[in-house]
Each structure stands twice: as structure tokens, then as C-alpha cells.
Amino acid sequence: MKISWGIVFFFCLLCGLHAAESAALKTRIIDLRGIMNTSYRDDLPGDFQNWTDQGPGNDLRNLKPGLLRLPEVTFQVVDPRTNRNRSVIMPSSYFCHFYPEVEFTLPLRKNLVMRTLFLLHCGAWVPGRNAVVGNLYVDYADGSTDHFPIRAEVELADWHSPKNWANARLAWSGKTADFTDCGLFYSALPIQNKPVKALRFAKGSAGTWAVFAASYTEQEYCFPEIKPFIAIENDEWKDFETSREVVEGSILDFSFLNHKPAGKYGFLKNVNGELVPEQSEEPIRFYGTNICLHALFMSHEQADLLAKRLAALGYNSVRIHHYDGLIVDADQDGNFKINEEKLDQLNYLIAALKKQGIYLITDLYNSRKPVKAKFQKSCPEIEGDRDYKCAAIFFPEVREDLKEFARLVWGRVNPYTGLTWAQDPAFLAFGVINEDTLILNIEQIGLCGDSLKKRFYRDFEAYCNPESVKFCPCVFHADSNVVFCRIFRRFLF
């Protein structure tokens, strides 16, 4: 009996399937072309159409369409030129909310039995681990449904973070036109042993989900555990001890380049875009590092050693980072109380760094936990530090709390320098609030409370409406729409 392969191919298309198989697992391709809504190529930024709407420098045009063969599975990467410029499923999100606010449903005309569903996908603007970037629903013929949350750093990661995760293996990696690393992931989802009638793809609560392809197998499969590589001393690997200390006065000692103490020529000023001390005509180029959280608090001897080591390595600046929540405590009403021991340790470290010619930079607010009771009347929405950062833009009471902290800490004399932090020219600069960008805190990081999100949406969209500006945060993020940026700045200031 002769078989017409053309008829077989037509039947596969009708059922939403392709007959390509992976040698290892006998996987079959699921045809997603009919529900794809955008392209991974974006030729024009800010036109509310393709990919992340950031233009040709930040898209996936270097991804080749066709069969993508992997050890466990084969995927079909769709060529957008053959599918009405559509090659990806991208549900609506905060950054890409010009996409449809709908579920993308793929009916499977032939009720399939699949034990493992593979997805080729990635995220954009992906927040921290376990944040739900997308939601997949598997509808069975018996009326039941399985729900699979697509989690950050579990089933996928940001397309600019190409590496393996627990249930996400790197399927493809490359570079954007701007030479930024990028990649796609594939994950394996367990499906019950009964017919499936439809797949539904929906937005998550943070970030943006992008689905490129799907395949399935009738076999059960999960990725093996990722085991760390550990080297121990043996015939091949030998223990080698080295000192971190730079020999004083040696060719590797760069401490002679620093002004000692830092600030000896006065405060810095901006001279034609360069930082120049008040009492000098020579600009300074800064090379620095962070010291964060509990690493800031050490004995005086350790502080002297660290400062000397940093100067010898060529550092002339240090960022004092995430100190604010550790040097003050607050009672239930939000009244500040200095932690004298920790402030003494920090003050000594500042003096030790200054002595070695190391300038300092810090922020007034990093991660100090706000006391909710203090803002109960004016801003009950405040729960955590991300809320505080957003609320400081809207509420005078929150800004007054910030000033109170500044007066308490920055107005207090450091006994080891004889100056307040505000008076000390060793501080080259300070930020008011660390990572205070509204869009980052409200949606990308996804840690800002819902009530503050709603307030931002309401006020900003109302501000945009009189000027007929389409509200689209991804355009602001890409800095490609001058009108939108102007409106945003005026809204804040």
C-alpha cells in the first residue's frame, strides 16, 4: 500500500503537529504559528509592535529559523517572514502592554496524550527568582486543567542571562546586534497520562514571557540535577597558597597615586565634565568598589588592613552600601535610635579609608526597613523598602522621614575625623535614594505593593491623557520616545 506523505503532512498540520523527531526521546513539534502575535525581530523602536520594542540593536535577529535540534528535543523556530511577521507568543505585560490582554489558546484537534511538554522560551525584564513570568494551562479532554507557573530562574530566565537553571537548559545562545549576550531556554513540564485538548498561554505577574516553540514526547522526562564541579587536591590538582597582600613599595603597589588623606584639596567640583578638587587644577579619575551590609562592620585593626590593601590595589574610591538599616533601629512608632557600636565601626572604617586616600560615596536610603505605623495616616501602603522608595516621590511625610535620618546620621560628628559626614570632603558624592526608578520598583523588580502600583498607574495615566500620550513604560525604559520621557519627568518634578 502506498502512503501519500503529502496527506500525512497535511494531517499533521491539521492536528497542530509536525512529524520531526528527536533521536533521543522521539519528540514531536507542536505548531504554534496560528497563535503567535509578534516577531523576535524589531526594526523600529517605539512603534508598539515587535519584540520588546527597543529596536534592531536589542532583538533576536541573529536567531536562525528552522529546526533547532537539542539532545532531548527538536523545536521548530518560525521564520517571521513566512508567518505574517509573527514568530513568538508574547502575552501583555507592564513593559509590553501594547500586546493583547488575552490568553493565547491552542486547540489540539486530535486529543493528544503527552507525558512531557517542552517549551522553548525566555523572559524579558525578568525579576528575582521564583517570580511568575508566565502561566501555562493544560486543558484535558475530561474537563480538568493543570496549571504551570513559569518561574524566573526555574523554568526560564531573562534572555540576557544565558545559563542553565533547575528546569531550564540553555537551548541557544548568541549576541544581539549591539553585541550583548542573549539566549533561549527550554524546559520540561510533566503532563498527566490522558488526552490533552488545548494549551493556554497567559501573562504572569512580573516581567514579560516570550514563547518560541513547543514540542512533546509520550515518554516521561525531567532534566538531571545540575551538580557543582568541585576540585580537590589529587595527582592532577595541587593546593597552592597565595597571599593577598601587596608588598609595600613594590611595582604592584599603586597607593602612591592617591591623595592622602582623601579630600586634602577640598571638595570636588565639576569642571567641564571632570571632577576637580577645589584647591587643585588636576582632575581625578575614580576607580572604586562596593563594601556592603555586614562587611562594613569590623574591628579597627581589620579596617586599617582593608583600607591599606585597597589603596595598594589601586582603588581610590569606595561605595558605602546598604549601611542604613544596620546603624539605626526604630521603635514601633518609627522613632530612630542609633546603634552606637555599629556606627563606631563604620566611622572608623571611613576614617581608615580616608587616611589611605580613598574617597567615599553612599546613599541616604538603601534598604532601611520602614515602620508602617509611622505612615499609617498618610501612606498606609508602605510595607517594605521598595514601597518606601516609590512613596518618597509622592508623599511629603516619607521625604521628611528621609531628612530626619540624614540629620541624625550625616549631622553627627565622626570622632575619628572630627567632621560630620556632610562636612567631610572625602565624600565625593551621595545619592538620595538607591534604585529609586519607579518603573523598576513597580513592575520590573515586582516588589512594590499593589496599592502603590495602582496609585502610580492612576496618576500617571491621568497625567498623560491631556496630551494624548500613549502610556507604555517599555518605551520610557528604552528611552526612545522623547515626548513620553518629557511627560514622565514633568510628572515627577
User: Is the same domain home to 167 and 55?
Assistant: yes
Contacts of 89 (CB under 8 A, 6+ apart): 32, 35, 36, 37, 104, 201, 209, 210, 211
Q: What are phi and psi of 339, to 5 degrees?
A: -85, 95
Q: Specify whether the CB–CB gap between 158 and 124 falls below 8 A.
A: yes
* Exposure of 3 in the CB half-sphere (CA atoms within 13 A): 5
Average pLDDT over residues 171-187: 95
Range of the domain at 266: 255-436
User: Is the same domain home to 168 and 265?
Assistant: no
User: Is the same domain home to 139 and 277?
Assistant: no
Q: How far apart are the C-alpha atoms of 219 and 114, rounded to whole Å?
A: 7
Greatest CA separation found in the chain? 98
β-pair type (427-433, 359-365): parallel
How high is the pLDDT of residue 469?
59
User: Is the same domain home to 300 and 193?
Assistant: no
**pLDDT for 205-223, tens place per residue?**
989 999 999 999 999 999 9
Residue 304: CB atoms within 10 A of its CB come to 18
| pTM of the predicted structure, to 2 decimals | 0.65
User: Is the same domain home to 292 and 357?
Assistant: yes
pLDDT at 144 over 60: yes
pLDDT more than 70, % of the chain = 88
Q: How far apart are the C-alpha atoms of 372 and 316, rounded to whole Å?
A: 39
What's the chain's average pLDDT?
A: 88
Identify the domain boundary among 407, 436, 465. 436
How high is the pLDDT of residue 470?
57
Q: How far apart are the C-alpha atoms of 334 and 400, rounded to whole Å?
A: 12
The count of structural domains within the chain is 2
Give me the residue label for grid cell 534572555: 159
How high is the pLDDT of residue 423?
97
Average pLDDT over residues 342-349: 98
3-state helix, strand, coil in the chain (%, to 5): 25, 25, 45
Examine residue 462 and state whether it is found in any structural domain, yes or no: no
User: Is the same domain home to 183 and 98?
Assistant: yes
How high is the pLDDT of residue 304?
98
User: Is the same domain home to 374 and 432?
Assistant: yes
How high is the pLDDT of residue 474?
45
Contacts of 457 (CB under 8 A, 6+ apart): none
Higher per-residue confidence, 393 vs 469: 393
User: Is the same domain home to 187 and 269?
Assistant: no
**pLDDT for 272-289, tens place per residue?**
999 999 999 999 999 999
Confidence at 63, pLDDT banded by 50, 70, 90: very high
Examine residue 35 and state whether it is found in any structural domain, yes or no: yes
Higher per-residue confidence, 447 vs 63: 63
**pLDDT for 293-330, tens place per residue?**
999 999 999 999 999 999 999 999 999 999 999 999 88
CATH code of the domain containing 89: 2.60.120
Examine residue 295 and state whether it is found in any structural domain, yes or no: yes
Examine residue 264 and state whether it is found in any structural domain, yes or no: yes
User: Is the same domain home to 284 and 408?
Assistant: yes
pLDDT at 332 over 90: no
Examine residue 368 and state whether it is found in any structural domain, yes or no: yes
Q: How far apart are the C-alpha atoms of 472 and 94, rounded to whole Å?
A: 8
SS3 308: helix
CATH code of the domain containing 307: 3.20.20.80
User: Is the same domain home to 207 and 320?
Assistant: no
Examine residue 190 and state whether it is found in any structural domain, yes or no: yes
Q: Specify whether the CB–CB gap between 441 and 12 falls below 8 A.
A: no
User: Is the same domain home to 33 and 81?
Assistant: yes
Residue 96: CB atoms within 10 A of its CB come to 26
Q: Is the peptide bond before 261 cis (omega within 30 degrees of 0)?
A: yes
Confidence at 6, pLDDT banded by 50, 70, 90: very low
Average pLDDT over residues 418-442: 88
Examine residue 225 and state whether it is found in any structural domain, yes or no: no
Confidence at 107, pLDDT banded by 50, 70, 90: very high
Examine residue 454 and state whether it is found in any structural domain, yes or no: no
* Closest to 155 measured CA to CA, from 196, 109, 201, 111: 201
Give me the residue label for grid cell 595598594: 312
Average pLDDT over residues 452-477: 66
Confidence at 190, pLDDT banded by 50, 70, 90: very high
Beta strands in 375-464 (DSSP E): 413-414, 419-420, 427-433
β-pair type (196-203, 132-140): antiparallel
Q: Specify whether the CB–CB gap between 306 and 245 falls below 8 A.
A: no
**pLDDT for 16-42, tens place per residue?**
444 444 446 899 999 999 999 999 999
Q: Cα–Cα–Cα angle for 155, 116, 229, nearest 5°?
A: 50
How high is the pLDDT of residue 10?
35
Burial (CB count <10 Å: 0-12, 13-18, 19+), residue 170: middle
Confidence at 12, pLDDT banded by 50, 70, 90: very low
Q: How far apart are the C-alpha atoms of 100 and 49, rounded to whole Å?
A: 11
User: Is the same domain home to 188 and 279?
Assistant: no
- Residue 290 carries which side chain, given as an amino acid letter? N
